[in-house]
Amino acid sequence: MDQRYDPHEIEARWQAVWRQRDAYRTPDTSDRPTFYCLDFFPYPSGDGLSVGHCRNYVPTDAISRFYRMRGRNVLHPMGWDAFGLPAENYALKMGVHPRVSTESNIATYKRQMDMIGLGFDWSREISSIDPDYYKWTQWFFLLMYERGLAYRATGQQWWCPSCKTILANEQVEQGRCWRCGTEVTRKDLEQWYFRITEYAQRLLDDLDAIDWPESIKLMQTNWIGRSEGAEVEFALPDRDDTLTVFTTRPDTLFGATYMVLAPEHPLVDELTTDEHRATVVAYQDQVRRESEIERLSIEKEKGGVFIGAVAVNPVNDERIPIWISDYVLMGYGTGAIMAVPAHDERDFQFATQFGLPIVEVIAPQSGAQGTLSEAYVGDGVMVNSGEFDGLAAPGQAFAAIVDWLSERGLARPKVNFKLRDWLISRQRYWGVPIPIVYCEKCGIVPVPEAQLPVLLPDLDDFQPADDGQSPLARAPGFVAVACPKCGLPGRRETDTMDTFVCSSWYHFRYPSPRFPMAAFDRRAVDYWLPVDMYVGGAEHAVMHLLYARFFCKVLFDAGKVGFAEPYATLRNQGMIQAEDGQKMSKSKGNVVTPDSVVEKYGADSLRLYELFIAPFEQSVAWNDRGVQGCVRFLARYFTLATEVAAAAAGLPAAEGTADVSDSGRVLLRLLHKTIRKVSGDMEEFRFNTAVAALMEAQNEMLDAWAGRREALKPAQWREVLRTFTLLLAPMTPHVAEEVWERLGGEGSVLDATWPGWDESLAADEVVTVVVQVNGKLRDRVEVPVGAEKEAVLTAAREMNNTQRFLEGKQIVNEIYVPEKLVNFVVK
């Protein structure tokens, strides 16, 4: 038999066998408990997979195999999030239809995934651009609409002038488009929204029930941005209406010395006096040209103008001036703030700049300061606050002020959320058409479920336009349609949906991927979901991961599923950088592809290195020498196993371990400790230390095979190697399958049972050391074989009886005979 490790030959052979056996087919039902392992829905980019992507897929493949060997029915499917801007932009660049380029990119991904031995059940493959899939994406839209969670509204929205589409709030990062980095502008268009804000509190509360990284939970918590405060009414003299502000610090109301409105606040024009109109209009024009980034910049000096009007502070009836300033934005709160310069840094800066009064109303415990050189933002007691003086603030003061105002109808407690509704309309071609028809007689008419899918027409010209109109608006055959309600000529909605809608529900589809009657077969979803293990990059913390949770809750409320959280456990893999520590990117030419690694070293070595490279969550630089180390490890394993197979050829199975020699027992202890270690590490996503344990164990085995081969009988050696092979199988399935066969293992290693360990065999062996004080036996202590001297002495000193005889004495000498005796000489 060939004893040279030839990964290419082994991998090609077993991949063909598995394909022919349909080895990765997942049964729809089984007596086994389920394990649903899912990767984030990938977008098949034109660049194909890099070794960075493999950092996601290899570990999930390994744990899927691990749980399969542990007796679970494992679902680990794969599919494609194939609509969206990047796909469309790529197609525009290549001058082909996005369907053509997307399909070719998918083929590349599949080829690469098969090449590295990922065990996907391709019969369950789904693609978001398939009408059989997006029919149900449209169905979800209708469900939202039916439940009052989809609505159409006009507002100032984020527009990316480069992508030529409106974006969701989550897709604007510090004033820039998350896709292309272009500064966003505002555009007024009528758009579709999903009312995710209705679920803000539940999205927050249910974070406690899921096993997700704390960092992701924190990002969602901050994004949802719950704050408790009060809405306070400021009267406007000689008018019936009031100005409402939201404040989290009602206890500082006596210090509110002026108000600031967003320049675009609807009341500004009415309230501005003729005397101030010219300066106000000029300032509004100036602000209109500012970007959001400029407006929120901390460095920038705040601008602002007085509009000539005043409002009445409800706690003391003081008339305070109303200003407008760019630092107050219409999209947040009510677009109006009460300014408390003594206790807010930004207000302090503004008041100082424009000579507005600063009134101290919260004093630190040390007493009122009189004149402030900066805002005091700490806790304290109320001062200059009339009958409220002396109350602890914000503690008692908060409730006292709100109660007092509430009784007079001037305030009410209010919980505010930063979260905005999800804007889902996109003015781009490559997406799911929104299933809505506009009729002059009936208004907005949802397309009936029986008429789904609303097919995306094949367009030759799908260039985005500057005017906020989707390319679908230029397709007359698409736009003109009979109203589903009255039959009169109607007009289709021409915007498409944000692709995050497609990925908000895909995990429901895999259990019944071809189900024709609904988005999913309820029985299949009940059997498989929630997803047990969800794995992907941390960058989707407040987009995909928030939207998918929202969708699940809507389904739950609609009685369509029995759980409200889709992903029970989430793990984020670290990134892989180029060898020089830089981010891998096509433009830098430093991308390492799995193709080049597999061609040089084979898929199993790539897989092993991906697992071994660093703790799973940690980002790390690629190092080709690391892969070479993995090749050497597998080559030695292969040779050892082949030699053992030859030595044990024709022998019956080993019978127990009762008659094993002492050096044989050392090997068995090592093996059982390794089983225990690798089992625990796999469960806890500590792949790197699992691989390290296997490498250590193999070194010991190689030493023993070279020097103390007789420590075990050949059939026992074969048992040891079989067990070792099972431990390797989830990580390096090809070479494991080959060795399993050579060692005469039963069936495929994929279906073998994960080995258990014998706790007594795995236990560290201990020896009893006698403890003497001045040569007299005083105690005995059990220590592990090979324990360090200091550890034994410490243990000996801490024994109760020893302590009695050491008390009040000075130790002048410590005598230690390893694994036998400790003698403390005292005086």
Q: Which stretch binds Zn ion (CB under 5 A): 154-162, 391-399, 588-596, 818-826?
A: 154-162
Segment interacting with Zn ion (CB under 5 A) among 6-14, 170-178, 285-293, 789-797:
170-178
CA distance 303 to 353: 9
CA angle 763, 768, 772 (to 5 degrees): 150
**DSSP 3-state of 324:** strand
Sorted by sequence, the CB contacts under 8 Å of residue 412 that are 6+ apart come out as 230, 231, 402, 406
Would you say 263 or 446 has its CB closer to Zn ion? 446
Which of these ranges, 72-80, 270-278, 438-446, 688-696, lies near Zn ion under the rule CB under 5 A? 438-446
162 near Zn ion, rule: CB under 5 A: yes
CA separation for the pair 129, 127 (Å, rounded): 5
CB atoms within 10 A of CB 726: 20
Strands 73-75 and 34-39: parallel
CA dist., res. 606 & res. 731, Å (int) = 10
Residues belonging to the chain: 827
CA atoms of 347 and 21, how far apart (whole Å) = 71
Of 739, 748, 742, 725, nearest to 649 by C-alpha is: 742
Site track for Zn ion across 382-421, x = CB under 5 A:
----------------------------------------
**Tokens coding 263:** 């320049």
Q: Which stretch binds Zn ion (CB under 5 A): 63-71, 172-180, 589-597, 627-635?
A: 172-180
Segment lying near Zn ion (by CB under 5 A), choices 159-167, 320-328, 344-352, 639-647 = 159-167
557, 521 Cβ separation under 8 angstroms: no
- SS3 for 652? coil
- Residues 442 to 461 in contact with Zn ion, rule: CB under 5 A: 442
Q: Which stretch binds Zn ion (CB under 5 A): 173-181, 292-300, 561-569, 785-793?
A: 173-181
In whole angstroms, the minimum distance from the beta carbon of 428 to Zn ion comes to 11
Which residue number, 180 or 651, has a Cβ lying nearer to Zn ion?
Answer: 180
State the minimum distance, in angstroms, from the CB of residue 164 to Zn ion: 8
- Closest distance to Zn ion from the beta carbon of 429 (Å): 15
Nearer of residues 462 and 510 to Zn ion, judged by Cβ: 462
Spatial neighbors of 275 by CB under 8 A, at least 6 apart, are 308
Q: From CA 57, how far away is CA 73, in angstroms rounded?
A: 19
Question: Looking at 288, 408, 441, 523, which residue binds Zn ion (CB under 5 A)?
Answer: 441
The CA–CA distances, whole Å, from 36 to 20, 136, 393, 530, 661 equal 24, 22, 51, 8, 44
Judged by beta carbon, residue 97 or residue 179, the one nearer Zn ion is 179
Considering only the stretches 91-99, 414-422, 435-443, 644-652, report the one whose residues sit in contact with Zn ion under the rule CB under 5 A: 435-443
Burial of 384 from C-beta contacts in 10 A (0-12 / 13-18 / 19+): middle
Residues within window 110-129 making contact with Zn ion, judged by CB under 5 A:
none
Task: Check residue 168 for interaction with Zn ion (CB under 5 A).
Answer: no
Indicate the residue type of 715: A
Closer residue to Zn ion (CB): 60 or 165: 165
Segment near Zn ion (CB under 5 A); pick from 431-439, 664-672, 736-744, 761-769: 431-439
Under the criterion CB under 5 A, does residue 485 sit at the interface with Zn ion? yes
Contact with Zn ion (CB under 5 A) among 439, 502, 640, 671 = 439
Q: How far is the CB of 67 from Zn ion (least distance, A)?
A: 41
Pick 86 or 225: Cβ nearer Zn ion: 86
Is 427:486 a contact under the CB 8 Å cutoff? no
Determine the residue type at 753.
T
Nearest approach in angstroms of CB 222 to Zn ion is 24
Q: Examine residue 381 and tell whether it contacts Zn ion (CB under 5 A).
A: no
351 binds Zn ion per the rule CB under 5 A: no
CA distance 527 to 33: 9
Indicate whether 160 belongs to the interface with Zn ion (CB under 5 A). yes
Task: Looking at 573-620, list the stretches that DSSP marks H as alpha helix, in order from N- to C-terminal side.
Answer: 594-601, 603-612
**Which residue number, 160 or 207, has a Cβ lying nearer to Zn ion?**
160
3-state secondary structure of 480: strand
486 binds Zn ion (CB under 5 A): yes
CB of 167 to Zn ion, least distance (A): 7
Whether residue 342 contacts residue 348, with contact meaning beta carbons closer than 8 Å, is answered with yes
Count interface residues toward Zn ion (CB under 5 A).
13
Asked if 235 touches Zn ion (CB under 5 A), the answer is no
List, in sequence order, every residue forming a beta bridge with 166; answer none if it has no partner. Answer: 159
Between β-strands 766-773 and 821-826, what pairing exists: parallel, antiparallel or unpaired?
parallel
Collect all residues with Cβ–Cβ distance below 8 Å to 703 and sequence separation of at least 6.
none
Of the candidate residues 483, 501, 533, 584, the single one contacting Zn ion (CB under 5 A) = 483
Based on CB atoms, which residue is closest to Zn ion, 348 or 430? Answer: 430
- Min dist. Cβ of residue 467 to Zn ion (A): 17
Q: Which stretch binds Zn ion (CB under 5 A): 436-444, 524-532, 710-718, 734-742?
A: 436-444
Q: Is the dihedral of CA 723, 726, 731, 736 positive or negative?
A: positive
CB 168 to Zn ion: min, Å: 12
Binds Zn ion by CB under 5 A, chosen from 74, 75, 91, 163:
163
- Taking the complex as a whole, how short is the minimal distance between the CB of residue 427 and Zn ion, in angstroms? 12
Contacts of 155 (CB under 8 A, 6+ apart): 188, 191
Nearest alpha-carbon partner for 573 in 221, 15, 58: 58
Which listed range, 177-185, 368-376, 398-406, 785-793, lies at the site for Zn ion (CB under 5 A)? 177-185
693 binds Zn ion (CB under 5 A): no
Binding footprint of Zn ion on the chain (CB under 5 A): 160, 162-163, 177, 179-180, 182, 439, 441-442, 483, 485-486
